[in-house]
Amino acid sequence: MGELAVEKHVKFILTIEKEKDSFESVVMEHIRLNGAYWALTTLDILGKLNTVDQDEVISWMMQCQHESGGFGGNIGHDPHLLYTLSAIQVLALFDKIDALDIDKVSNYIAGLQNNDGSFSGDMWGEIDTRFSCVAILSLALLKRLDKINVEKAVNYIVSCKNLDGGFGCTPGAESHAGQIFCCVAALAVTGSLHHVDKDLLGWWLCERQVKSGGLNGRPEKLPDVCYSWWVLSSLIMIDRVHWIDKEKLIKFILDCQDKENGGISDRPEDAVDVFHTYFGVAGLSLLEYPGLKAIDPAYALPVDVVNRIFFGR
Amino acid sequence: MDVLQKSSERIPLSQRPEYADVKPVPQDDGPNPIVPISYTDEFRETMDYFRAIYVADERSLRALQLTTEAIKLNPGNYTVWQFRRLVLEALNADMNKELDFVDGIVEGIVEGNSKNYQIWHHRRWVAENLGTDASTRELEFTKTILSKDAKHYHAWSHRQWVLQALGGWKDELTYCELLLKDDIFNNSAWNQRYFVVTRSPLLGGLGAMRESEVTCTVNAIMEHPENESPWRYLRGLYRNDTHALVKDPQVASVCLKILTAKNNYVHALSMLLDLLCHGFQPSLEIRNAVYGLSDSGAQGSDLVKVVCSILELVDPMRANYWKWRRNIVPAQAAQCLKDDGLTGLSL
């Protein structure tokens, strides 16, 4: 079996975060906060978070925050739940959640819950179970879940459950591994996993593993490294991860590495990016690949970070 | 990227008289940018001018034009889309023309970039403004996207929203059938089929539709027994009514045919397993078909255990799952007997 080229991946992350000229950098400008979360969490899992200047990151990040308390994807961008979670997660990595006015941020998030329990991503009203997840994870990390109507939030998520046991973005939408992760994580964090038919969903999830050992996100689609996270973390949360072939999945992820230049891609031989690098490394951590920090399957943060938040030092 | 190839035709904003009084605002990455980004000149200039208009909150025609150019350069930038909506509202703009604009963006951008939440959300906002009149156009639009990528998650999500918010259910089941004819493996089309059958106000609901749907599904299964989707769809048709699933002769019959053919029988075995666990009494033919798939020592053994053993062998990636199924069977079978009020009868 191949090996994880840790040093190369660390170098890859540190380089692209500084790269000035790539088209990718330019078009990802507005989601830089997500990029920061992917990059920094990967570094932490690899034990290299200290290679980054924490103060610089935080100082830049705080400038992404708005009057409303929400964070935009970069400085000068409108606030949105997605970037707000990334900001909280990055601060959690650095043990600096107290840099936030917690009430202000929680009020922003809570204000986006709708009457049916769903969440809008921002003031423009797009509804998606991704936002339910993001809101719930954010508030849980801030210890302010009491600011929303948890019961209604759970009911909305349950209304998105499909005949195959999976979840979609809205009621009736096709089950998709990314959405399933969002719903299962939100249910896990709110103590509501009893709403999940674990055997039925577990079976759907384990059927995502294809011949190559990789995982796809829906029936008859191609495998992609990012599903190593979404499918795997979901299986772990519902206690069914032993239903996939872990060795084959590890091999698939390792085959997606660019061992020369660092980084991980969606599938073998494709171009790498920081998004898939994060999901590949996070997936390997869930698979207990040696030398990696353990990652929490619901919060998508290292376990020691989560423990620090909920159980003190 | 073809958007940037058009640069040679573009007049820099600094040379356009209608923007003469605008003072461009450069990207502020902070005093010591950790992630300083270098832009192409065109991109930089457009965004600098956009920022000026955005900060001034100017909701004018030239502001609209700027958002057009910024979006063409980077359709993922959600802040630009949001500001565009504010401008459209302020100008009381023609929403049909706005749909034309979105059509153009989707057509003009590189493959794969229509998987962009901003475009779809903007589309929804515009369609909401237009109301039920937009239904036909929006269904056509999603059809166009789906003709290039029949599993496009955003397109399906938008289509479902259109049907529920703006109507247009009449031809939806036919559309699903067409897509499945193109690709019987299209899980999204199967999902949409379920959506229509269970939610269309024009059909009778699942109860009325079930029998004909089972027939269609069984035909699809016979075409490709290895196709995961119709098997799941079949289970979905009998959701909350496993008793009826067990009793439906079409279901047992399709399992038997596939097991006898000895080809691509994993899903058929899995379905048989489910049936057995819910009190199904297998015929001799089914028993023999199963024994025919296993090694010679199997005859006379507990059929469930034989089925699980075969599955462990032919679907080794999920061996643990099948082992678990084998182990829980006694408990499940007992439960079924209890449910049927047959406790006390020996098997």
| Domain range for A66 | 6-311
Q: Is residue A156 part of a domain?
A: yes
Cβ distance of A244 and B34 shorter than 8 Å: no
Chain A residues near residue B195 by CB distance under 8 angstroms: 172
The token duo for A274 is 């920081």
Rounded-to-integer distance, Cα B28 and Cα B26, Å: 6
The token duo for A206 is 């384990």
Q: Is B115 a catalytic residue?
A: yes
Q: Does A251 touch chain B (CB under 8 A)?
A: no
Give residue-wise pLDDT tens across range B183-238: 999 999 999 999 999 999 999 889 899 999 999 999 999 999 999 999 999 999 99
Beta bridge partners of B263: none
Rounded-to-integer distance, Cα A71 and Cα B115, Å: 23
Find the CB nearest A76 among B28, B43, B157: B28
Task: List the single residue in A with minimal CA-CA distance to B120.
Answer: A126
Segment A160-173 mean pLDDT: 95
Find the CB nearest A172 among B121, B195, B316: B195
Which contiguous run of DSSP H or E holds residue A273? Answer: strand A272-273
Segment B69-98 mean pLDDT: 92
Q: Name the range with the highest mean pLDDT among B9-23, B24-38, B43-57.
A: B43-57
Task: List the single residue in A with minimal CA-CA distance to B185.
Answer: A220
Query: What pLDDT score was predicted for residue B217?
Result: 97
Query: What pLDDT score was predicted for residue A236?
Result: 97
Q: Does A270 touch chain B (CB under 8 A)?
A: no
Amino acid identity of residue B58, one-letter, is E
| Domain range for B35 | 12-93
Q: Is residue B65 part of a domain?
A: yes
Query: What pLDDT score was predicted for residue B4?
Result: 40
Predicted confidence (pLDDT) at residue B154 exceeds the cutoff of 80: yes
Coil vs helix vs strand at A215: strand
Give the mean pLDDT of chain B: 87
Q: Is residue B252 part of a domain?
A: yes
Q: Looking at this predicted complex, what is its ipTM?
A: 0.89
Handedness of CA A49, A53, A58, A63 (dihedral sign): negative
Q: Is residue B307 part of a domain?
A: yes
Chain A residues near residue B186 by CB distance under 8 angstroms: 220
The token duo for A138 is 């954010």
Chain B residues near residue A21 by CB distance under 8 angstroms: 38
Cβ distance of A244 and B38 shorter than 8 Å: no
Instruction: Kindly report the number of other CB atoms within 10 A of residue A91's CB atom.
Output: 21
Domain holding A56: CATH number?
A: 1.50.10.20
| Structure-model confidence comparison of residues A180 and B302, the more confident one | A180
Cβ distance of A220 and B229 shorter than 8 Å: yes
Domain count for chain A: 1
**How far away is chain A from the Cα of B154, in angstroms, using its nearest Cα?**
10
Residues B275/B277/B281/B282 CA torsion (nearest 10 deg):
60
Query: In chain B, pLDDT over 70 holds for what percent of residues?
Result: 85
Segment B314-330 mean pLDDT: 91
Chain A residues near residue B51 by CB distance under 8 angstroms: 76
- Residues A66, A17 contacting (CB under 8 angstroms): no
Within 60-119 of A, beta carbons closer than 8 Å to B belong to 60, 63, 72-73, 75-78, 80
Q: Pick the residue of B44, B78, B82, B226 with the most A CBs within 10 A to test the interface with A by mutation.
A: B78
**How far away is chain B from the Cα of A188, in angstroms, using its nearest Cα?**
22
Q: Which residues contact B148 (CB under 8 A, 6 or more apart)?
A: none
The burial class, CB within 10 Å (0-12 / 13-18 / 19+), for B345 is exposed
Query: What pLDDT score was predicted for residue B116?
Result: 78
Q: Does A124 touch chain B (CB under 8 A)?
A: yes
A247-251, B29-33, B61-65, range with the lowest pLDDT: B29-33
The residue among B39, B63, B93 that closes a domain is: B93
Amino acid identity of residue A237, one-letter, is M
The residue among B93, B122, B148 that closes a domain is: B93
The token duo for B170 is 């009449």
What spatial distance separates the first Cα and last Cα of chain A, rounded to whole Å? 38
Give residue-wise pLDDT tens across range A238-267: 999 999 999 999 999 999 999 999 999 999
Cβ distance of B160 and A209 shorter than 8 Å: no
Q: Is residue A97 part of a domain?
A: yes
- Residues A30, A77 contacting (CB under 8 angstroms): yes
Cβ distance of A30 and B77 shorter than 8 Å: yes
Q: Is residue A1 part of a domain?
A: no
The burial class, CB within 10 Å (0-12 / 13-18 / 19+), for B204 is exposed
Cβ distance of A221 and B316 shorter than 8 Å: no
Task: List the single residue in B with minimal CA-CA distance to A207.
Answer: B318
Pairing of strands A264-265, A272-273: antiparallel
**How far away is chain A from the Cα of B188, in angstroms, using its nearest Cα?**
6
Q: Which residues contact B17 (CB under 8 A, 6 or more apart)?
A: none
Query: In chain A, pLDDT over 70 holds for what percent of residues?
Result: 97
- The residue behind tokens 């080809």 is B263
Q: Does A161 touch chain B (CB under 8 A)?
A: no
- Residues B338, B332 contacting (CB under 8 angstroms): no
Predicted confidence (pLDDT) at residue A76 exceeds the cutoff of 90: no
Q: Smallest Cα–Cα separation from A76: which of B70, B13, B89, B98?
A: B70
Give residue-wise pLDDT tens across range A209-220: 999 999 999 999
Domain count for chain B: 2
Q: Does A221 touch chain B (CB under 8 A)?
A: yes
Cβ distance of A75 and B320 shorter than 8 Å: no
Predicted confidence (pLDDT) at residue B38 exceeds the cutoff of 90: no
Q: Is residue A185 part of a domain?
A: yes
**Rg for chain A, CA atoms, rounded:** 18
Q: Is residue A24 part of a domain?
A: yes
> What are the Cα distances from residue B131, in Å, to B118, B120, B165?
20, 16, 8
Q: Is residue B251 part of a domain?
A: yes
Task: List the single residue in A with minimal CA-CA distance to B323.
Answer: A243
Task: List the single residue in A with minimal CA-CA distance to B54.
Answer: A76
- Residues A230, A181 contacting (CB under 8 angstroms): yes
Describe chain A by its helix, strand, coil percentages, rounded to 5: 55, 5, 40
| Three-state SS annotation for chain B | CHHHHHHHHCCCHHHCHHHCCCCCCCCCCCCCCCCCCCCCHHHHHHHHHHHHHHHCCCCCHHHHHHHHHHHHHCCCCHHHHHHHHHHHHHHCCCHHHHHHHHHHHHHHCCCCCCCCHHHHHHHHHHHHHHHHHHHHHHHHHHHHHHHHCCCCHHHHHHHHHHHHHHCCHHHHHHHHHHHHHHCCCCHHHHHHHHHHHHHCCCCCCHHHHHHHHHHHHHHHHHHCCCCHHHHHHHHHHCCCCHHHHHHCHHHHHHHHHHHHHCCCCHHHHHHHHHHHHCCCCCCHHHHHHHHCCCCHHHCCCCHHHHHHHHHHHHCHHHHHHHHHHHHHHHHHHHHHHHHCCCCCCCC
Q: Is residue B264 part of a domain?
A: yes
| Alpha helices (H) in A190-264, listed in sequence order | 198-206, 226-237, 246-255
Q: Is residue B277 part of a domain?
A: yes
In degrees, rounded to 5, the angle at the alpha carbon of residue A114 between the alpha carbons of residues A109 and A117 is: 95
Q: Pick the residue of A21, A26, A51, A235 with the most B CBs within 10 A to test the interface with B by mutation.
A: A26
- Residues A84, B59 contacting (CB under 8 angstroms): no
Query: What pLDDT score was predicted for residue A296?
Result: 97
What one-character DSSP code corresponds to residue A244? S
Active-site residue, selected from the candidate residues B6, B97, B115, B338: B115
Predicted confidence (pLDDT) at residue B124 exceeds the cutoff of 90: yes
CA within 13 Å, CB half, A240: 25
Chain A with chain B: Cβ pairs closer than 8 A: 147
